[in-house]
Structure 1
Amino acid sequence: MSSNSSSPLTGAADRAAATTAGRPAGQRGAIRLHNVSQRYGTGADAVTAVGPVDLDVPPGEFLVLVGASGCGKSTLLRLIAGFEPATVGDVEVSGGAPVPGVTSGVVFQQPRLFPWKTVGGNVDLALKYAKVPKSERAARRNELLERVGLDDTAHRRIWEISGGQQQRVAIARALAAETSLLLLDEPFAALDALTRERLQEDVRAVSSDNGRTNVFVTHSADEAAFLGSRIIVLTKRPGRVALDLSSTLPRTGVEPEELRGSPEYAALRAEIGAAVKEAAVA
């Protein structure tokens, strides 16, 4: 992506690069996929969904997997989460095998909240599973709800809040465990455009604050450009890496409207969009 030296984003981008340079590999949150392929079925009915894929993700990166429907984005996310083992190859998180519910927090397309519990009750349950002492849960719950913009909602029932607010609860719940990795599988796909943009801004800000590694699945070039510090475009099935692109857009110090209106953002979005279209037919 070409840069414009006269853009107001340039100084912020330089500052962001300085904060991420030289991060050592192998720390908590690092991801490594070596010669990974995933097949389903047997014999003549076997289908290779993804692979082979080699990928190294350093700690603190916001990686976006983008591509057309059916290219294997969610399959890769499930492998990183440890929900299923790879048919071929090795998947490592923080130097070991991924363990569901332990090595990462996961946010799905649907919030998957417990409707019989309050907003606070949903977060409290996640804190309980994360082994947070009972005496500390109320303060931690309030901190998490404040972080995702849901102050003073702990007492409300799930059916009393909007779809966007429910997804915020799901994010707070995923952040309840002090995991170094957060996985998000098209979490905003079912939301209206305005709510989607607001939640993108929230997730981008939270990722900058807490230093977690993030892996975000989307089919939107716009979403990939806004969120990712690194963007991986996948080919059509079986999904392989068609483009591995590092973003120079600043993570902090720039308002979302300014970022979305910048020529750098427009150029990155166009590059990703063109790559997704090409990869879908290649």
Structure 2
Amino acid sequence: MNKIAPRRRLPWDVLLLVFKQADPSTLAVLGRVSHDFLTATAQELYKLVAVTSVKQLEGFFCKRTVAQEERKTKTSRINPHLSLSHIHTLIIDFTSLSSRRRVPNSLSLSSSRLDDQRPLLLEHLEVSSDYSKVEVLRLLYSSLFPRLNPTRCSYKIVGRALPQAHWVHLSHNYPTQLLGWTQIQTLDLSGVFPRVFLNGQDHLAGLPPPFPDHRRVLRLRVASLLSSSTGSESIMDIIGRNPVFFGLEEMQDGSIVLVVKSEEEKREAEAAVQTSQRIERWRHVFIVELET
């Protein structure tokens, strides 16, 4: 009779396929029998983490007491105590979050889950939410985001209640602070402009002041930021009225990218950049790109 090879000798592609396809009970067995092996493979298992509920968020990042309470009814998650420092991409998708579920006021994050007090370095942080659940964004901004340090961040907001509502305030009822994101290179916005109020001034959430040799790119999805009754000129008006908010004085050439969906929209946006008097001093900052 042929002996079954130890799990630690399985090829990487076979191992990852097992974890992706396994049912919850199989994952539970693997977690108990091969915890040392799961720890050794954390770098691959945690490259991309997708969170779609507040419970999952708490399970990954919150204090152990919260995780223990949830473990009674939640068995499909791979051991949450594995190091999160291997995450490359963190996707938080709350677009389908139930409107009947109450969002907590804060998250009691565990420092042991986040490698002591050092921020979690990410290649990409992607946050999707519905405009009607703005309190979720405030929760993330006040509790989790200060513990992260992404290279790229994407905000995707859908379902605006009012077409003219371009802004979402993230600092409501919380001690206001700017995020300490030191390696951010690209901030990609769809739906709304997230802002915080600090020292009597509005700031674009996630875009800290620049430092030498650090190029920051702000990508704005034009169609999602405008209602159907307005034209591309409106985006110029919004930016031109708020030069400090968008950091126009500090932006390098081509640092604000207007992303459009068609060649026609591209021509309209380029014409708006060239003719807008509000941004005349900063035209070199803008470029227009087709969405890929």
Q: Radius of gyration: which is bigger?
A: 2
Q: TM-score by structure 2 length?
A: 0.27
